[in-house]
Structure 1
Amino acid sequence: MPGIQETQLYCLADRRYYETPDRLPDEDTRYPLDRADPPTGWRRGTGGLWTALHPASAELPEQGWKIHISTVPEEAGRTLADTARICLEQGVAFKFLRSTRALRLMSSKYMNRSGAGKFITLYPEDEPALLKLLDALGEALDGRSGPYVLSDLRIGNAPVHVRYGAFAELWCRDADGGRVRAMRHPSGELVPDTRGVVFRIPEWVTVPERLRPHLAARAAARDDSFPYVVTEALQFSNAGGIYLAEHRTTKQRVVLREARPHCGLDPAGHDAVTRLHREHRALTRLAGLDCVPEVYGVRTVWEHHFLIEEHIEGTTLFDEIVERFPLVRGERTRAELDAYSRWARSVTDGLAQALDRIHARGLRFADVHPANVIIRPDGRVVLIDFEYATDLDDRDTPLAGAPGLQAPTGPGTSGAEADAYALWALWLHILMPLMEVTDHDRGKALTIERWARARYGLGADEGPPRPAALAHGLPADSGESTVDALLRGPEPDWPGIRERLLAGIHAGAAPDRADRLFPGDPAGFTTGGVCAANGAAGVLYALDRVGAPVPGAYVDWLARTAARRAPENPGGLFDGLPGVALVLARLGRREEGRELLDRALRAPAPSSADLRTGTAGTALAALRFASDGTGAPDAELLDRALRTAWELDSLVRDGATADGPPAPHSAGLLSGLCGAALLHLELHAHTGEEWLLHAAGAALAREAGHCVTMPGGSVQVKDGIRHLLYLDQGSGGVALVAQRYLARREDPALAALLPGVGQGCVLEFIREPGLFRGRTGLVATAHQLSGGAPRPEVLDSVRNLSWHLVAEEDRLLVPGSRLRRFSADLATGAAGVLLGLHTVFATPDERPDLLDVLTLG
């Protein structure tokens, strides 16, 4: 799953679906050079947010010293014109961000720190060309402003930076088996082209003599007079870091909040330094209040600004919610719910008092969310992060706020009213941490409020009041919604749900696009939009599995796009060509599917052993093709599957193999050794070889070793500090494969896990609705574990999908991973919800086996 910052990046171009940044609507801010015809003798190229110009007769070397130019939006046009003139005169290839809006995006808080600030990249063909360029650029851009590019060496007083790295798009595997950008070692081997936040030089590269003074100047910039020593990094972003530190002599512990000039731009165009000094002014104005940190001053070290403030002992409200929230552990007694709701009220009462005291000093806070609240050991609350704290009547500085907690502002909304809304929303979030869905449908705030009051037994006067002045941002509380009507009757209206989910899936289809057919998780873009988990293959599989028509244009798109995938990177069952091959075969395009599978089998073996991306999934796809039921098994494919099964059994027994991938670190159907066990079981069904049954049992025993019994009785996979029930990674997937194994051989230890897993699968609170890591997968698993018999708790869990699903005209839309945008894919979105509910509501003679369904059988 993408990280929080990466997910945020895919939220910038569209408010409905996850989108690549290059879909940014920026036509009105494009630079003239992006629109102009290329000069005679030059060719143009585009990629993402970048536009490139290359001399038509020249070929770039694979790697070398590259130059990065940074800038600020107000100087960007002039800097681009001057740099382009020099490149055109000297015949040097270059690329640039295509628009002012793209530049602001790449300079925003959510960009990767190592690449943030890069505006123009130049590719000199050799060292003499590099030095000639640096002379010209240093003179032309002297004194211009721009962020420091952390991965590079800055040259002089201009925003000019250099690093040695790849020019060509080369790839290799890193130490963890991931596919990363590469450059070529003198031996000819491809090695990772590390792009971190520190300037590094490959061991075989000699720094040009002309660059050595700049290297020395970088080292000399260190300020040893700074009186604080960092002891721990708490957070990083493109804006800077937050650090725990102590004074060199007094040993006083403080928090240092770092701001990098020209970086971390917000929607108003303010950089991190502007916000840091705003925070300093606010904390100075609030001095003496025990609900805010004491501020000790601001210090500039080299170019970076540091706000020095009191270290508050305690825990963030975010961590407290994770630790205390009762409905994920089965702890649902009235006493436990009452205790939690009283704690929620005590926290929000403390916050209300803190906000009143801040307002009394003439300031708004404007950024109420769980990570900005610290609970002291004695229960008192402290607000931190005052970057957006300004005068109560300020209408120019934008509000901040976490998704779902930001006030729906309108004409005349004051800072105090915005804080009051955020307080009410935060109270609901503590009781039911799902407020992100209200960004899709403000009416969900009322759904959540009604449910929370009923579940915790709270009267109408309990909790912070909903601000009357913000009523324009919420719909009328008219009672039952469309989603409630579909889900909350005596029996959920499965035909109606099915029809609306299908309509939502088709409404998002875009056959004219080359990068995706259906909207899905950001991970789908990295696989070319075709994969089973997050791309078109999974959606078309779900449509076919539930008996819905699959338009031929969709199948054509899948076959055509999959054929373009790089042969050296075919991926696995759920992230690559093996899964696409199975789906195409199912849809009547077996020859095209077999061609894709053969391409995957010819490529280097996957670097993981699991079902999602690794050898178990690829071998399972080969086995499915080997035995299509139309004739004798394909001996070559069957042998391939058997060899992989033997290798996986060796991995289970020995913990590692000499040449193969490592064992997965956790357990689950897609991310653990369950894939190996499933492969063994299916091969046993085909061959009857007894060692395969032993191998399946050994793999499952290892998976069971990750399972623990939680308070309340549910059985979950322990993964570090997390406990997981899901199909992808978690005990739900383990139980499904164990159930199939137990149908062939007794195993009391495995059998003992199943009731606890089934209990966990119907826990009241599940944060996401999807199939692989959400409610739909768990209710389908609970239904399968019960033998398909109707269970009231399964139907209750289905009804609670009303928290997530959004009705729009004749469609139902499904929020995907992290609930930030809608998704139609199999893993996180509407296709998975459709398929999972199909297994629950299908008639007994039509009901498919869930394990077959989940693995593209």
Structure 2
Amino acid sequence: MAGAQETQLYCLADPTYYDTPGRLRDRAGRYRLGLGAPPAGWRRERRGLWTALRPDGARLPEQGWKIHVSTVPEEAEETLLAVARVCTARRTTFKFLRSDEALRVANGKYMGRGSSGKFVTVYPGSEQEFLAVAAELAEVLAGRLGPYVLTDLRIGTAPVYVRYGAFVELWCQDEDGRPVPALRDPSGELVPDRRDPVFQLPAWVEPPEELRPHLAAREAAGGDLPYRIVEVLQFSNAGGIYLAEHRTTGERVVLREARPHAGLDAAGDDAVTRLRREQWALERLAGLDCVPRLHEVRTVWEHTFLVQEHIEGVQLFAEAIRRYPLVHQNCTAGQRAEYAHWVAGVVAGLEKALGALHERGVRFGDLHPANVIVRPDGSVVLVDFEYAEELTGRSVPIAGAGALQPPPGLDGADADRHMLWATWLMLLMPVMELAERDPGKLPALERRARQWFGLGPEEGPVRPGAVAPVAPVEPVGERRVRELLAGPTLDAARNELVAGIHAGATPDRPDRLFPGDPAGFADGGTGVAHGAAGVLYALHRAGAPCPDEYADWLIAAMRRRGPRPGAGGLFDGPLGVAAVLARVGRGDEAAELAAQARQARPAPTVALHGGRAGAALARLRLADALGSRRELADALADARALDAVLRGRTVPGLGAPTAAGLLYGLAGIALVQLRLYQRTGEDWLLASGREALGRAVAQCVRVPDGSVQVLDRGRRLAYLDRGSSGIALVAREYQALGGSGSEGLEGSEGFDGSEGFDGSEGFDGSEGFGGFGEFGGFGEFLADVRRVCAPGFVREPGLFRGRAGLLLALDRLGGPAARDAVREQVRKLQWHLVARPEGLLVPGMRLRRFSADLHTGAAGVLLALRAVEQGLEGGELLDALTLGPRGAGRRGGLS
């Protein structure tokens, strides 16, 4: 899935769905060079935010020295025309960002630092041409401004930079099995084209002699800070935030780095502009105990650093996550009251802090839980004053994310007070993004918060501009969703989900068929997790209408993409797509993709999602659907490799398993080996599966509320993808085998449960396990996992990392009252689902936009509701989650 910063980029082009930045609505601001007829003898190509100009007949090498030119919006069009004159005169291929808005996006605060600053890219046809063009551009652009391109070597003092890299689209796999841009080394092997934010050369490349002076200038540039970096707290395109120590005194400080002309925000301000605002605010507010003390501001090399007091404490957002009681299944009224009391104390402290700022004539402008530090004594400190301004000023934009943003017309003190109210509500209901998807959710969120935490209408901060207490009337959309999920059957809810999926389909687009997580664009919108294949599978499994054009689109998209460097696993890559096509009756095309995957490099990881376990299970699905003995043989070969790794033997190109869960770890291996054992009867497969399952259990801990969860790098995980619920579903099947399957699961040789627990500090009461014997057997383990499958609060609705998956696990692991508990979890999906005229829509990962995909969106929720109604047994449910055959349920529906 996309990270938080990358997700922001995919919110720019469409207010409803995640979409590629290339569909930005910027036509009115396009540069003239990209419009009209191209120059005589040249061809124009458009791809995403970029426009390329290539001379007729030009043939680029695969790789070589390329040139990047950076700029600032004020100079962009003039800089572009200057570069174009040089390149057209020399008939050198180049590309450029198509508009000022595209430039602001590419150089924005949340853009990756590896691509930051690149406005024009020039592709010389030879090293001699490269040196000539670079020298001419450095002369022509002398004196112009632009951010430093961190991946490159600067030529002189102009905004001209160079690096050795790929010219054409080549792909290979990185160490995690993901496809990445590639270079060809001298042996002909494809290796990753590294784009880390530091200049580096491939090991076999010797820089031309003409670059030596620039390399020397780079080594000699800059200076040094009298501080030693202890920890990187945050990286962004704007610069870094670092915990540091003074080299002489040892005093701890925080360094806030600002890159000139980089990290542009929505107003077009760069990082240095915002840092200077922060300097102004800290100087104005000096002496207040709710504000860090300013030490100094200094420039080192081209970057400006603000040095401020390090506040001992924890970020309010992190502290709220640690304390939040509703994630526990049996949360008591006392625990809710205790949390509400803590929130009230924090908000009172924030109200006092804002009052102190306002008395000094300063508006904070960016209050949210990530910009507050809670000291050990409970007092609060405001940090990040980049959007501070005079209380009566109007020149600096008010920040605030999403639903925390003040409404139009509020400024100064009232804007801060609105963000205080929104912060209070976010601490009680940390799903405020839902109000962006549907404004009707906001009063519902406040009503629910007051109900859950026993708060009267007069409690909590005042919301500026609010004319009355929260209205008791339920919004129409909320009522519609509630009624759909509360009926005797879920047919109507499923129909509305299907309608929403069809409404979002775009068969005219080549890059995606259904909207999903931003990660779906990486594979052309085709994959099972985030692309068309997963949606087709869910529609087919649910018995919903699935037009032939959907399968046609998927087949055409896979053929357009052609062979890729890796076969992938079940949820990404061609094998998973092939398994879906076989399931929906497109066997010939499935066999075609399977043959392509057979020629690709095997996945270097073991995971079910994108690794060797997933490849084995996909091949087993294909063997069953197509009657292919070869696919079964290939699946068994994958299983032998997995078994060898489990037993500590080296398998070339395959890493050892580290995670525990179903999609990304050991439980997925256990499932694959079990399915192949059931298919072939070979006992070594069952032994291998037992080993994997025992190790997965050994990575679980019992937490203070009595539930059992995976402990992974300090995080406790319960979801299907990486957590204990996925492990429990697999364990349930081994339990069903009885004596033939449970022997040896009481402990795994050489695995005592302690490995990987370095991040467990702070989890008081957590205990690691060596195997099922620690629980008294399967039954106790399953019962303890069941405790975490019906929490009062879940942030996201999705199948593999949200409420939909947990309710499925609860359905299979539940005790006598399981059906009532499952019904309650189904009803709670109403908090997330949004009713639109076209149907029900499902917010995806991070809740910033809607998604239809299997992993995070509507297809996954559809599959879950169908599985609940079918009453699938354990093995059938796991098969439903992993593209297996569709079987009839053995239990009744929800009624």
Give me the TM-score of the superposition, normalised by structure 2.
0.91
Q: Could you say which residue in structure 2 is the equivalent of 1:716?
A: 709
In the alignment, is the contact (CA less than 8 A) between 2:430 and 2:795 conserved in 1?
A: yes
SS of the residue corresponding to residue 362 of structure 2 reads: coil
Match of 1:513 in 2: 509
Letter in 1 for 2:511: D
The equivalent residue for 2:629 is: 635
Corresponding residue number in structure 2 for 1:852: 879
Q: Distance in 2 between matches of 1:577 and 1:178?
A: 13
- Name the aligned partner's letter for residue 380 of structure 1: S
Cα shift at 1:825: 0.7
Name the CA distance, whole Å, in 2 between partners of 1:405 and 1:577: 42
How far residue 537 of structure 1 moved from its aligned partner, in angstroms, is: 1.1
- Residue 482 of structure 2 is aligned to residue 487 of structure 1: yes
CA distance in 1, matches of 2:190, 2:559: 26
- SS of alignment partner, residue 305 of structure 1: strand
Structure 2 counterpart of 1:741, from 734, 743, 754: 734
Q: Is the 8 A contact 1:255 1:308 kept in 2?
A: yes
**1:264-303, aligned counterparts within 5 Å?**
264-303=263-302
- Quick check: 1:576 aligned with 2:573? yes
Q: How does 1:692-731 map to 2 (within 5 A)?
A: 692-731=685-724
1:352 aligns with 351
Contact 1:783 1:789 in 2 (8 A): no
CA distance in 2, matches of 1:765, 1:623: 37
Tell me the secondary structure at the aligned position of residue 404 of structure 2. Answer: coil
Task: Answer whether contact 2:481 2:834 (CA < 8 A) is retained.
Answer: no
In 1, Cα distance between the equivalents of 2:570 and 2:194?
29
- Pair 339,3 (structure 1): closer, same or farther in 2 beyond 3 Å: same
Partner of 1:542: 538
**What is the CA deviation profile of residues 263-288 of structure 1, one whole-angstrom value per residue up to 9, with x for unaligned ones?**
11111111111111111111211122
2:798 to 770, 773, 786: 770
Structure 1 residue 589 corresponds to structure 2 residue 586:
yes
Gaps of at least 5 residues in structure 1 are none
CA contact (8 A) 1:788 1:840 kept: no
Q: SS of 1:404's equivalent?
A: helix
Shift in Å at residue 329 of structure 1? 3.7
**Equivalent residue letter for 2:318:** D
How many aligned residue pairs are there? 847
Alignment of 1:609 onto 2:592: no
Shift of 1:127: 2.8
Q: Report the residue type matching 2:500 in the other structure.
A: G
Structure 1 pair 624–203 and aligned structure 2 pair: CA distance change class (3 A) = closer
Cα separation, partners in 2 of 1:471 and 1:210, compared to 1, 3 Å: farther
Provide closer, same or farther for how the CA distance between residues 237 and 492 of structure 1 changes in structure 2, counting only shifts above 3 A.
farther
Q: Secondary structure of the residue that 2:879 maps to in structure 1?
A: helix
Cα pair distance change 1:78/1:39, threshold 3 Å? same
- Residue equivalent to 1:675: 668
Residue of structure 1 in register with 2:248 after alignment:
249
Q: Report the Cα offset of residue 565 of structure 1.
A: 2.9
SS at match of 2:201: coil
Listed one character per residue, the Cα deviations across residues 648-691 of structure 1 (whole Å, up to 9, x for unaligned) are 2222222x432252233211221112222222222222222333
d(CA) in 2 for partners of 1:270 and 1:159? Answer: 19
Aligned-residue offset at 1:492: 6.8
C-alpha spacing 1:756/1:212, structure 2 compared with 1 (3 Å): same
Q: SS at 1:669's partner residue?
A: coil
1:520–1:384 CA distance, 2 compared to 1 (3 A): same
Asked if structure 1 preserves the Cα contact closer than 8 Å seen for 2:512 and 2:532, the reply is yes
Q: Could you say if the C-alpha distance between residues 270 and 418 of structure 1 is closer, same or farther in structure 2, counting changes exceeding 3 Å?
A: same
Which segment drifts farther, 383-392 or 584-593? 584-593
Structure 2 CA distance, aligned partners of 1:421 and 1:552? 50
Determine the structure 2 residue equivalent to 1:759.
Answer: 787
More deviation, 514-523/759-768: 759-768
Aligned to 1:131: 131
Instruction: Extract unaligned runs of 5+ from structure 2.
Output: 743-775, 885-895
Question: Contact (CA 8 Å) 1:532, 1:579: kept in 2 or not?
Answer: yes
**312-321 vs 214-223, greater mean Cα deviation:** 214-223
Deviations 1:736-786 (A, max 9, x none): 111112111343633331111222111111111000110001101111223
Q: 1:212 to 1:703 in 2, by over 3 A?
A: same
Task: For residue 587 of structure 1, report the CA deviation from its aligned partner.
Answer: 1.8
Structure-1 residue corresponding to 2:644: 650
Cα distance per residue 1:220-248 (max 9 Å; x no partner): 22224x43333322211111111222333
Query: Aligned partners of 2:213, 2:728: CA distance in 1, in Å?
Result: 63
Question: Which stretch of structure 1 is more off in the superposition, 130-139 or 526-535?
Answer: 130-139
Equivalent of 2:528 in 528, 532, 536: 532
Partner of 1:791: helix, strand, or coil?
A: helix
Amino acid at match of 1:705: A
Provide the secondary structure at the position in 2 that maps to 1:172.
strand
* 2:324 partner amino acid: F
Cα distance between partner residues in 1 of 2:689 and 2:37? 62
Corresponding position of 2:890: none
Q: CA deviation at 1:445?
A: 2.1
Structure 1 position 381, deviation (Å): 0.5
Contact 1:701 1:750 in 2 (8 A): no
Q: Distance in 1 between matches of 2:481 and 2:257?
A: 50
Q: Which residue of 1 aligns with 2:67?
A: 67
Q: Which residue of 2 is the match for residue 461 of structure 1?
A: 458
Residue aligning to 2:366 = 367
Shift of 1:172: 2.6
Shift of 1:787: 8.1
- Tell me, in whole angstroms, the C-alpha distance in 2 between the residues paired with 1:102 and 1:492: 50
Residue pair 1:732, 1:757 contacting (<8 A) in 2 also: yes
In 1, the alpha carbon distance for the partners of 2:628 and 2:219 equals: 64
Distance 1:30 1:839 in 2: 49
1:435 aligned partner: 432
What is the percent sequence identity of the aligned residues?
Answer: 56
* Distance of 2:815 and 2:574 partners within structure 1: 33
339-348 or 581-590: bigger deviation: 581-590
Matched, 1:805 2:802: no
Q: Which residue of 2 aligns with 1:99?
A: 99
Q: Provide the C-alpha distance between the structure 2 equivalents of 1:627 and 1:133, rounded to a whole number of angstroms.
A: 59
Relative to structure 1, is the Cα distance of residues 258 and 143 closer, same or farther in structure 2, using a 3 angstrom cutoff?
Answer: same
Counterpart Cα distance in 1 of 2:630 and 2:192: 35
Give me the whole-angstrom Cα distance separating, in 1, the residues matched to 2:578 and 2:562: 15
